[in-house]
Structure 1
Amino acid sequence: MAESMLIMTKQAHQVDGSVKQKAYTFLEKLAKDDAAPGLHIETIKSSVDKRVRTGRVDDKYRAVLFKLAGEHPAYVVYGIWMHDEAIEKARTAKFWMNPVNGIVEIVRAEAAAVPEADAVAEVPKADSGADRGVGAGAGADPHADHVGEAAPARDGVPAAASSPDVHPATADPLLKVSVAELEGLGIEPGLARRAVRATDDRAFGQLVESAPTWQSEALLALATGSSLDQVREELELDQAAAGSEANDADMIEALKRPASRMEFAPIDGVDELRRVIEEGDLGAWRVFLHPVQRTWVDKRTNGSFRLAGGAGTGKTVVVVHRARRLARTDPGCRIVLTTFTRNLADELKESLTRLDPGIQLAPGLGGDGVYVNGIDALASAVVRGAGARIATAVEKVLGAARTDVGGRLPRDLWRQVVQETSGLREQLGAAAKPQFLETEYELVVLPNRITTEAEYLRVRRPGRGVRLSRSARQAVWKAVERYREEEALQGCADFAEKAAIAAEYLNEVADHEGRPADHVLVDEGQDLKPTHWMLVRALVGEHADDIFIAEDGHQRIYGQKLVLSHYGIATRGRSRKLTLNYRTTAENLRWATAILAGVEYDDLEGDEDGTDGYRSARHGMDPVVRRCSGFIEELDATAETLMRWIKEASGTGRAEAFAVLVRDRNQRDRIVSGLNERGVPAKAVDRGPATGKEPVVMTMHRAKGTEFTRVILFDADLTGADSSASRSYDFSDQDKADARKRERSLLYVAASRARDELVVNAISGESSTEGRS
């Protein structure tokens, strides 16, 4: 019996549901013994590659494989097709090493016969997108409804369009490089000639979509501003090649190259094989990493590191893979993996255990392995674990020593304080609002550990937008004292206070007890508040690989603008930005990023965070914006679209996930009831996984960190100009602008959840759901 190593390609990873179990059975047998009865591993006469084989999956389907000899044979699984198609592909497919750069590819023999004069839009037959295995979605990529008429753009937010004008041809080519320069990278000559002549965005996208993955990424990067040297560096194209006729040992070694691993991945055991087959395209993030992603998964950093990037660029994938890598490198280390919300923390834990079911999860903070929890839950864990010793830290943060900080915070306590504090409205005017006091407390008072009026009168307040006279500051401090008095009576503290208290406690005990973590990884860092960062800094000492942060300033829907260095976390000079979108199509990405146009966003280093260079390797249909006159019309249209999607997906066997994203929970529950009444089996999602066969309805906030095949945005306010959120912050132009910016960010987050189709139900004539019929 000869055991075999299996190496999956991206398209082999996408298997039709009707064949999945048979595919798994076939590949499991192949891994155990390639001579097992029933596999029928056969060579193909007159094939262009002597390594090609086919195997019998069942009476209708055959697998196309490439066999590499060694101590144990290795089989590269190209794909599974119906019998005749599989034989044809086996005759013409060639598994080879690119002679220029040593990257492994699968190419089609007839590609060389395509005339040079062919039109740019015609796609040469390379490996991946155009020649997908059974059940593969058109252009599907792991990473990362035409109903009604498209509406015009409004207030800088794009409407969808069905006209070709969305992808205008220009007189100038999209690439500013020559054919020779592309061939110097290793781009196939026929593809290089077409690419340099391309002037139309959609045709260019279709052209590169069918190319081997690394070639597609190289061309997209060049089209969006990267230089040849940057592409060489990111894809590691400067290594020597063994030549197109490399032996099997050379090929196996070349499969380890980062750019090769974008397309080929070894499968570690039958359990991994089953997960790969069952999860298909939606689970490919676990297997295929971009070389840049892999760099930041593996790289040792000299200190804290910040990884930025737009929605769908794979930041969370890097964080999860990095947590696993750290745990495997040093099984005894203590790793904290945290984020802003409990739901996102649950998603991180699920992703981590899907990536590595055997990973050691720490039972609590300070334990060996990976401890996954939301940042507020983490702060509460520190406070509970301190017991009576927490009193000193509470005194330093709140001004009075006490141990009872775990009670439930009274609802709307800041609103109560505003009503009860005399002179507040006279001194603050329009700023006498709960939102102003809360942000002043979280951005100024707590980070500076202010416990007296004298300290508050002296403290600087940069970037607060509202200037306060001495008497106004005195009025604010009265409100702070009233807030803290009520908390003491109730035996509680708010989340921001607990984070500050936890940080202070950890700093107090660090000299004799040490820090509770060796590594801290933070996802969605843009939403953490100042005292959260104080806690993150207190969890781990300053050393190599101490803090790793993933963030996107455009997705800031909870936190406030801040700079990490103010809280002892220095990342300047140790940061990187991801630009390739793995989740959504170029059309959806264009619509989502256009929401942000005309507004400046900042990253956690205080620099402007732009969207230049963001790109997607996939194309699809344009998003559609439809205007509805009222709630009932919107609900009818949504039900009709979902029923169509369900019908289209039935029987395909593909993993399809549909979502309706809404503004708040009350609206969510109304929509679920309305859809069920119309025969759509939708369910509301709050806590727990956002998965299942039926469409889900969830708030836009809850949708953060998720992705779906098709998405409907319900009752979307494309302006945010008169939203209740911005009205709550009208005490200063700056704060109101920040609130509107968060509203845009929320819409951007929601729109970027869609992988394939996006439908936007836009508000018609009104800016909120209040008063809608």
Structure 2
Amino acid sequence: MEFRIADTFTTSLARLTGDEQKAAKTTAFDLQVDPAGNGMSVHKLDRAKDQNFWSVRVSRDIRLIIHKTAGSLLLCYVDHHDKAYQWAERRKLEVHPTTGAAQLVEIRERVEEVLVPKYVDDSRLTKPQKLKLFTKYSDAQLLAYGVPQEWLADVKAADEDSLLELAGHLPGEAAEALLELATGGTPVLPEVAGMGTDPFLHPDAQRRFRVMSDMDELARALEYPWDKWTVFLHPAQRQLVERDYNGAARVSGSAGTGKTVVALHRAVHLARKDEDARVLLSTFSDTLANALRGNLYRLIWNTPKLGERMDVTAMDAIGIRLYSAEFGKPAFAGRDEIATLLTTAARDANGLKANAAFLLSEWKDVVDAWQIDGWEAYRDAKRLGRKTRLPETQRALYWQVFAKVKQQLKQAGKITVAEMFAKLAEVMPNRKHPIFDYIVVDEAQDIGTQQLRFLVAIVGDRANALFFAGDLGQRIFQTPFSWKSLGVDVRGRSRTLNINYRTSHQIRSQADRLLGPEVSDVDGNVESRKGAVSVFNGPEPIICSYADAEKESQAVGIWLQQCTTGGVLPHEVGVFVRSESELPRAQAAVKAAGLQERVLGKEMATEEGFVSITIMHLAKGMEFRVVAVMACDDEIIPSQLRIDTAADEVELTEIYNTERHLLYVACTRARDQLHVSAVKPESEFLQDLLKK
């Protein structure tokens, strides 16, 4: 007998309390050992339309719903008694008449039209009818996308207001296809299964149902929520993963659209396609690299030898490792040390009246970023994006300062991170065999100038060698620069993902107000947010400001308490603040809710039973059902400390942009509920969030 588990089971399991989950998992293990359920309380659901639905008692109030036939047992759902029965009574397992895929279909409830006598002519009050989204598609076309037969009329009647509500009633593959059609895309048509083919072997079915071959595999399925498995892709995502590119390629999309999943699968695809290839999967921080490593393990657990040819490492970490092998362990000069050297050198330069902030900015964004090593190079530097004009005579004075600092660093045996990558870029092409054949970079919007040079030096311009995933709207660390000038041109090989799987429609649409409808890079590549759509609804975000920090913490505490009383587990809650200075306000809110908290460090490891608190800069890669973003006061975000260091108008604009991106990142870590708060006067960004 085939023992299978449905995504609806793991989703419902995640909503239970810790003790309820343990009991449900124990029952699932018992059923795998003995599918007949001997010694267990198992009975048929007489009121269910599908006569193969059975109920299994987990505890006094928890029931597990299974679908059982002679050759198959499917774990479908688990919940409290009444809710579990109601779920089963509204579902049936069937084979789609066109695609041949197995589907759990919600039964269409027949609602008879009720005629109400009309006493007043209200024709002038009638609102204009909204455009029906799918009337131009035939029944055959909609069926080909996996829409169940009995839902065709509802799909034909759907407009932009009812689409999300309708999508929640349809099988996932059908809902995703409709959302893509509604946003101007052309979904890939699902395969059509041949006669006699097992409907559970269809690719669409394999995304929803998984065969559990042994106890270990079932344990893994129950340990990780379904959406953390990242095993099966949406067809549009699979196209990007498996396509051949004749140069560098990039996939973009707003938070929650699955860019990281695509990057992960792309790396695995390249390793499987070329049996001798070494693949680097990298990102900008150790924290995110650790998360990628965990997801990779879940993806290739049954082919572990594949992992021997895959290196999942943060960009700086791989740089240090290779630099140590080539030149010895590097000694880095930190930002504060360089700032002190610059200030001292400027004081000693005759005739130079230098702003310390401008000096550091010029060093970071021009001299160090582009590794300028001589006066002529600095004199002729285009200074991309810098609007502070420097006459040649003044540049000469500045170069005296920069040259002196470079010499002092050399004498001290210290380098910058940018210099490390520049030196590696010089030696990598000299290797007889490249250290990596393919490189995939996640969160590519925060890659640095010399890091990009380093990557190009390893793989050159070979087909499929470079693949990037990122979102310009989440750029919070790097100043923009031209990729094309370094030989990386993604024009024509850049695609945008529009369907958001992680964040509710209400949270996503409100967070998007922090950004423009389009974001473009220096080379003119445009990322549009106009067609973005979420696959599920949720409560409207709460955005409030308070008289003082104590009142804010008390109010957020009450909200957190309401969330946890409603079934949200403590580890499913995240609280973000702009910097470490505001952490006490977050801790006070969690305490007011009567909950325990953990302040996360760079390892970002959440702990069951504890609310996670951290700063916004560490939010990347995190996801919580419930998020509170606190202390969004004026002068905290955007940071007044950063504003005061702006060297010119362009840098001030850049600071405002990255601070907006930072708040956007924090808000989009929320799946279902979001609370954004401040002490008056609140940040101007909160007003942007509230704009319609």
Calculate the TM-score normalised by the size of structure 2.
0.85
Distance 2:547 2:565 in 1: 27
Q: Secondary structure at the match of 1:10?
A: helix
TM alignment of 1:58-77, pairs within 5 A: 63-66=64-67, 73-77=71-75
Q: Is the 8 A contact 1:662 1:714 kept in 2?
A: yes
Q: Secondary structure at the match of 1:760?
A: strand
Q: Is the 8 A contact 1:8 1:77 kept in 2?
A: yes
Match of 1:270 among 186, 193, 215: 215
Q: Is the 8 A contact 1:101 1:185 kept in 2?
A: no
- Residues 557-566 or 454-463, more deviating: 454-463
Partner of 1:748: 664
Measured after TM superposition, the shift of residue 527 of structure 1 is: 0.5
Match of 2:468 among 529, 542, 549: 549
Partner of 2:626: 710
Q: Secondary structure at the match of 1:537?
A: helix
Match of 1:438 among 344, 353, 364: 364
Relative to structure 1, the CA distance from residue 476 to residue 269 in structure 2 (aligned partners, 3 Å threshold; closer, same or farther) is: farther
Relative to structure 1, the CA distance from residue 240 to residue 670 in structure 2 (aligned partners, 3 Å threshold; closer, same or farther) is: closer
1:682 aligns with 2:600: no
The residue identity in structure 2 corresponding to 1:272 is: E
Q: Is the 8 A contact 1:323 1:335 kept in 2?
A: yes
1:571 aligns with 2:490: yes
Measured after TM superposition, the shift of residue 360 of structure 1 is: 5.0
Q: Secondary structure at the match of 1:221?
A: helix
Partner of 1:464: 386
Partner of 1:280: 225
Match of 1:219 among 165, 173, 178: 178
Q: Secondary structure at the match of 2:313?
A: strand
The residue identity in structure 2 corresponding to 1:630 is: D
Match of 1:177 among 108, 126, 134: 134
Q: Is the 8 A contact 2:257 2:501 kept in 1?
A: yes
TM alignment of 1:443-522, pairs within 5 A: 443=369, 445-446=370-371, 450-507=372-429, 509-510=430-431, 512=432, 514-522=433-441
Partner of 2:321: 381
Q: Secondary structure at the match of 2:631?
A: strand
Distance 1:251 1:758 in 2: 39
- Residues 550-559 or 175-184, more deviating: 175-184
The residue identity in structure 1 corresponding to 2:539 is: M
Partner of 2:257: 313
Distance 2:179 2:250 in 1: 24
Distance 1:499 1:98 in 2: 54
Distance 1:104 1:323 in 2: 30
Q: Secondary structure at the match of 1:411?
A: helix
Relative to structure 1, the CA distance from residue 660 to residue 13 in structure 2 (aligned partners, 3 Å threshold; closer, same or farther) is: closer
Distance 2:160 2:46 in 1: 41
Measured after TM superposition, the shift of residue 722 of structure 1 is: 6.4
Partner of 1:148: none
Relative to structure 1, the CA distance from residue 299 to residue 41 in structure 2 (aligned partners, 3 Å threshold; closer, same or farther) is: farther
Distance 1:698 1:745 in 2: 17
Measured after TM superposition, the shift of residue 678 of structure 1 is: 8.1
TM alignment of 1:350-365, pairs within 5 A: 350-357=294-301
Calculate the TM-score normalised by the size of structure 1.
0.77
Measured after TM superposition, the shift of residue 596 of structure 1 is: 0.8
Relative to structure 1, the CA distance from residue 177 to residue 198 in structure 2 (aligned partners, 3 Å threshold; closer, same or farther) is: closer
Relative to structure 1, the CA distance from residue 442 to residue 728 in structure 2 (aligned partners, 3 Å threshold; closer, same or farther) is: farther
Q: Is the 8 A contact 2:570 2:595 kept in 1?
A: no
Relative to structure 1, the CA distance from residue 308 to residue 455 in structure 2 (aligned partners, 3 Å threshold; closer, same or farther) is: same
Distance 1:759 1:515 in 2: 49
The residue identity in structure 1 corresponding to 2:179 is: L
Measured after TM superposition, the shift of residue 208 of structure 1 is: 2.0
Identity of aligned residues (%): 26
Distance 1:43 1:26 in 2: 17
**1:485-521 Cα shifts (integer Å, max 9, x gaps):** 22123321111111112222222x32x3x21112222
Number of aligned residues: 668
Q: Secondary structure at the match of 1:576?
A: strand
**1:728-772 Cα shifts (integer Å, max 9, x gaps):** 46433222212211111111111101111111113422659xxxx
Relative to structure 1, the CA distance from residue 721 to residue 337 in structure 2 (aligned partners, 3 Å threshold; closer, same or farther) is: closer
Q: Is the 8 A contact 2:545 2:677 kept in 1?
A: yes
Distance 1:701 1:746 in 2: 7
In structure 1, stretches of 5+ residues that fail to align are 120-168, 389-403, 769-773
Partner of 1:391: none
Match of 1:559 among 460, 464, 478: 478
Measured after TM superposition, the shift of residue 592 of structure 1 is: 0.5
The residue identity in structure 2 corresponding to 1:558 is: F
**1:202-221 Cα shifts (integer Å, max 9, x gaps):** x4422321222122223333
**1:270-324 Cα shifts (integer Å, max 9, x gaps):** 323213223335x545355322233334444444321111111111122233334
Partner of 1:24: 25
Measured after TM superposition, the shift of residue 370 of structure 1 is: 2.4
Q: Secondary structure at the match of 1:716?
A: coil
Partner of 2:525: 607
The residue identity in structure 2 corresponding to 1:490 is: A
Partner of 2:97: 99
Distance 1:646 1:754 in 2: 15
Distance 1:495 1:636 in 2: 43
1:691 aligns with 2:606: yes
Measured after TM superposition, the shift of residue 14 of structure 1 is: 2.6
- Residues 348-357 or 416-425, more deviating: 416-425
Partner of 1:641: 559
Partner of 1:80: 78
Partner of 2:121: none
Q: Is the 8 A contact 2:619 2:669 kept in 1?
A: yes
Distance 1:423 1:356 in 2: 59
Distance 1:560 1:178 in 2: 46
Q: Secondary structure at the match of 1:687?
A: coil
In structure 2, stretches of 5+ residues that fail to align are 117-125, 685-692
Relative to structure 1, the CA distance from residue 195 to residue 185 in structure 2 (aligned partners, 3 Å threshold; closer, same or farther) is: closer
Measured after TM superposition, the shift of residue 386 of structure 1 is: 0.9
The residue identity in structure 1 corresponding to 2:361 is: Q
Relative to structure 1, the CA distance from residue 459 to residue 87 in structure 2 (aligned partners, 3 Å threshold; closer, same or farther) is: closer
Q: Is the 8 A contact 2:332 2:414 kept in 1?
A: yes
Relative to structure 1, the CA distance from residue 541 to residue 560 in structure 2 (aligned partners, 3 Å threshold; closer, same or farther) is: same
Measured after TM superposition, the shift of residue 531 of structure 1 is: 0.5
- Residues 614-623 or 192-201, more deviating: 192-201
Distance 2:4 2:473 in 1: 40
Q: Is the 8 A contact 2:229 2:298 kept in 1?
A: no
Partner of 1:193: 153
Relative to structure 1, the CA distance from residue 722 to residue 220 in structure 2 (aligned partners, 3 Å threshold; closer, same or farther) is: closer
Distance 1:739 1:88 in 2: 52
Q: Secondary structure at the match of 1:173?
A: coil
The residue identity in structure 1 corresponding to 2:201 is: E
Distance 2:33 2:597 in 1: 43
Measured after TM superposition, the shift of residue 435 of structure 1 is: 2.0
Q: Is the 8 A contact 1:415 1:433 kept in 2?
A: no
Match of 1:209 among 168, 180, 183: 168
Distance 2:548 2:37 in 1: 64
**1:672-702 Cα shifts (integer Å, max 9, x gaps):** 3685588542221122234122112211001
Relative to structure 1, the CA distance from residue 48 to residue 632 in structure 2 (aligned partners, 3 Å threshold; closer, same or farther) is: closer
Higher relative contact order (CA 8 A, sep 6+): 1
Partner of 2:513: 594
Measured after TM superposition, the shift of residue 419 of structure 1 is: 4.4
RMSD: 3.7
Measured after TM superposition, the shift of residue 114 of structure 1 is: 4.1
Distance 1:39 1:333 in 2: 51
Distance 1:424 1:601 in 2: 43
Measured after TM superposition, the shift of residue 615 of structure 1 is: 0.9
